[in-house]
């Protein structure tokens, strides 16, 4: 057996030559959960063991892996770049094992997305995930948050993305994005009184927005219409009313209303992910990491 010499750095010390797949999985878990403790629990290891793995990566690359963010942590800019490449290596590792040992990774992942987030960037995220995990079949459905949660309790989803007004136990909070009043591009419906509302009464944002209007003493009326979210957005884009959406979500024909204080402020919405226990948990956790990246991009733009 031929032993390859260790690579020497400028100071003559031995540098890492081979990446540890388990360490890269830990990096992915930290990216997903935003906390070392929760990531360690998901991987069935101690917090100190996972912290040691992060330290090994920092020593190998000479760059910090984690930055503090509130009570949790986020990946450093360098670690984010490393994460993208590490996913490819972990996926290749799993594919090799599947081919030559018969140990096949989970082939199906059931994903539920709140309707607000069925937009271009999520489509790009799904495409990127499929490229890195070509053997995983994605089954994607969209619905309202409360329906997605009920479906997950019935075992119908492996991972869901929800919009809520807090981060309850079991939720992995990805970001907070402010709600905003949206209207037709260059429209004037927001000036009308009573204010025409083009929003489904079943939407979680509806009672919050109407409560804010009532508190501000602004009379409003619900626009006549039936259908899903697309119907109400078409009505708003036609300047027949205003609707409520998280900032950063681009919709054709709609823009954030620049009302100059004529409409009441709205609270932020929390973008949460839930990962179900079960045989698809690891793949679901990997997909959640991809969602975290795109949600953070939208939150930054907002």
Calculate mean pLDDT across residues 84-103: 79
pLDDT at 248 over 70: yes
Which residues lie across from 254 on neighbouring strands? 184
pLDDT of residue 288: 87
The proportion of the chain whose per-residue pLDDT surpasses 90, expressed as a percent, equals 32
Q: In angstroms, rounded to a whole number, what is the distance separating the alpha carbons of residues 27 and 36? A: 10
pLDDT at 3 over 60: no
10-84 CATH, one of 3.40.50.720, 1.10.10.10, 2.40.240.10, 2.40.420.20? 1.10.10.10
pLDDT of residue 1: 37
pLDDT of residue 70: 66
pLDDT at 11 over 50: no
pLDDT tens string 144-172:
888 999 989 888 889 999 989 988 888 88
Calculate mean pLDDT across residues 270-286: 85
pLDDT at 31 over 90: no
In this predicted model, which residue has the larger pLDDT, 72 or 270?
A: 270
10-84 and 106-302 agree in CATH topology: no
pLDDT tens string 47-82:
899 999 999 999 999 999 988 876 667 788 899 889
Provide the pLDDT confidence category of residue 103 given band limits of 50, 70 and 90.
Answer: low
pLDDT tens string 182-241:
999 999 999 999 999 999 888 889 999 999 999 999 999 999 776 666 788 899 999 999
Task: Of 44-48, 72-76, 251-255, give the range with the top mean pLDDT.
Answer: 251-255
The CATH code for residues 106-302 is 3.40.190.290
Please provide the average confidence, as pLDDT, over all residues in the chain. 83
The model's pTM is 0.65
pLDDT at 7 over 70: no
pLDDT at 105 over 60: no
Q: Where are the domains of the chain?
A: 10-84, 106-302
CA 46 to centroid of chain Cα atoms: 26
């Amino acid at each position: 057996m031929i032993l390859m010499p260790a690579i020497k750095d400028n100071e003559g010390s031995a540098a890492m030559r081979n990446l540890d797949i388990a360490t890269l999985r830990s990096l992915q878990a930290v990216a997903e959960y935003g906390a070392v403790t929760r990531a360690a629990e998901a991987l069935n290891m101690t917090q100190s063991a996972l912290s040691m793995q992060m330290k090994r990566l920092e020593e190998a690359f000479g760059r910090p892996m984690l930055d503090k963010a509130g009570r949790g942590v986020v990946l450093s800019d360098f670690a984010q770049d490393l994460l993208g490449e590490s996913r490819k290596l972990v996926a290749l590792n799993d594919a090799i094992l599947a081919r030559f040992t018969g140990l096949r990774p989970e082939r199906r992942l059931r994903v539920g997305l709140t309707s607000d987030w069925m937009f271009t960037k999520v489509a790009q995220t799904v495409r990127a995930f499929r490229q890195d995990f070509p053997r995983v079949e994605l089954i994607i459905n969209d619905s309202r948050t409360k329906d997605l949660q009920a479906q997950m309790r019935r075992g119908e989803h492996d991972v869901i993305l929800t919009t809520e007004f807090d981060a309850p136990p079991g939720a992995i909070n990805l970001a907070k994005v402010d709600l905003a009043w949206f209207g037709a591009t260059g429209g004037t419906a927001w000036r009308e009184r009573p204010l025409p509302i083009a929003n489904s009464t079943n939407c979680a944002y509806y009672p919050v927005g109407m409560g804010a209007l009532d508190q501000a003493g602004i009379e409003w009326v619900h626009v006549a219409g039936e259908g899903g979210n697309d119907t109400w957005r078409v009505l708003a884009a036609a300047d027949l009313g205003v609707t409520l959406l998280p900032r950063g979500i681009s919709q054709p024909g709609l823009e954030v209303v620049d009302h100059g204080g004529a409409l009441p402020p709205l609270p932020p919405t929390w973008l949460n992910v839930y990962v179900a226990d079960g045989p698809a948990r690891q793949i679901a956790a990997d997909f959640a990491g991809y969602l975290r990246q795109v949600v953070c991009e939208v939150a930054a733009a907002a």
